[in-house]
Structure 1
């Protein structure tokens, strides 16, 4: 089976530190890896990008086709994406822009790359303008499993704080609708929480149970907390899929309920596990 055009570009990009020839030579190109909305499998595409307002911006143009490209539909379902930019690789939250911000960014993109204006003229759909949000730089060096746990908790707390602020603004009437920005951050938080808890349940907790049998009761309690928080998270995801403008108080209540349980869980986990985890190097040695 012949290698696809996209795969040739991807291979060349990775082999040459982000530089490619052919029709993309000299252009600003990145690789975006999304998780399939249906398959759950990684899917990588090369995309042109523009830097504007301090953000990394890509357009779901599909060359002006009538339907959104698959990668855009994937990131609506799974907002956490992987970006390869030059020799850098990092995780990002993909956030489609709306309203005035979308119009402003699209106009800026067209000034730099006029072809996107031509693509918009070919289709009746509004081309999505997506910001790839860079993660905050870690403030501490990760040397132990305790450091890694705190790094994960810091990310979860930051996402949860953002979601709570957006939900409260929605209830107060400062947001006309939920908006894709809040939705993407909320889904990213839920996705990150699920991944974090699965890693703990499958690897960290069993290892601690073997090396620190005195923590058996604590680990059982943490596992039960995982299940309780997971149920609230699932309710929140279901609500996001069907929420209407007249349901802001239910959304806020669910967010606050999960926030309270998660904050208590994180604090308990840190108090009980950090001393044991501090003696375990990360990455693992040998």
Structure 2
């Protein structure tokens, strides 16, 4: 199970013993200090990896003083689809704001000889990366329910899953560049940053064009050929 760390927001992966209960699962914490238990009290969204397949789940505390949660797997209906569409736009807006904040640290400021800039940019990138990783992990879980409800979206969802992996590798490269020793050429840093930012914008646009119409019940999504090749 993957939860968002209650303190840092970073993804926390934990092996949790679950018991099947109807269409969901029951998970019991061995003690009140179990990190994943504290995470779900703060943010009840979880991603369950069941036999290698990610599933989005909503955690509801058990009644009667039991230390655990009922994990209800996402099932898509019309109302839930519209809600997910709205959440998707909100998350993308937040991530775009985080990108803009990081870009503002680069605009017109030479990197060589100013270690403070690297610290500031690294801080923005850490915040952005944690948010993006949780966003993608939760999306991967939601995709399982979406493709069950909308089989025609399978090609688009598979492409988005692949892009999640590509983005993750690119962010690791940027992190290594920022945390490396010595000075960093401003041109090289800006080019790497813009390469990643451009790829993310294309990813967000593709996702919105392909998923939002189906989630909102507006009809067919944009075809793959209409949006060109993978960024």
SS in 2 for 1:169: coil
User: How far apart are 1:187 and its partner, in Å?
Assistant: 0.8
TM-score for both structures, normalised by structure 1:
0.45
Aligned to 2:212: 274
Provide the aligned length of Structure 1 versus Structure 2. Answer: 146
The ranges of structure 1 where at least 4 consecutive aligned residues each deviate by more than 4 angstroms after the TM superposition are 172-176
User: How far apart are 1:157 and its partner, in Å?
Assistant: 0.3
Distance 1:243 1:205, change over 3 A: farther
Structure 2 gaps of 5+ residues are 1-5, 14-38, 44-81, 218-231
- Cα RMSD after superposing both structures: 3.0
User: How far apart are 1:173 and its partner, in Å?
Assistant: 7.3
Aligned to 1:256: 194
- After superposition, what is the alpha-carbon deviation per residue over 1:213-243, rounded to whole angstroms, capped at 9, x for unaligned? 0001111111111111111011111222215
What aligned pairs does 1:107-122 form with structure 2 within 5 A after superposition?
Answer: none
**Conserved in 1, the CA contact under 8 Å of 2:122 and 2:175?**
no
Distance 1:267 1:174, change over 3 A: farther
TM-score for both structures, normalised by structure 2:
0.55
Aligned to 1:106: none
Distance 1:246 1:229, change over 3 A: closer
Q: Does 1:151 align with 2:124?
A: no
**Conserved in 2, the CA contact under 8 Å of 1:152 and 1:196?**
yes
Query: Greater Rg, structure 1 or structure 2?
Result: 1
Q: Does 1:34 align with 2:7?
A: yes
What aligned pairs does 1:18-167 form with structure 2 within 5 A after superposition?
Answer: 34-35=7-8, 144-167=83-106
Q: Which moved more, 1:235-244 or 1:149-158?
A: 235-244
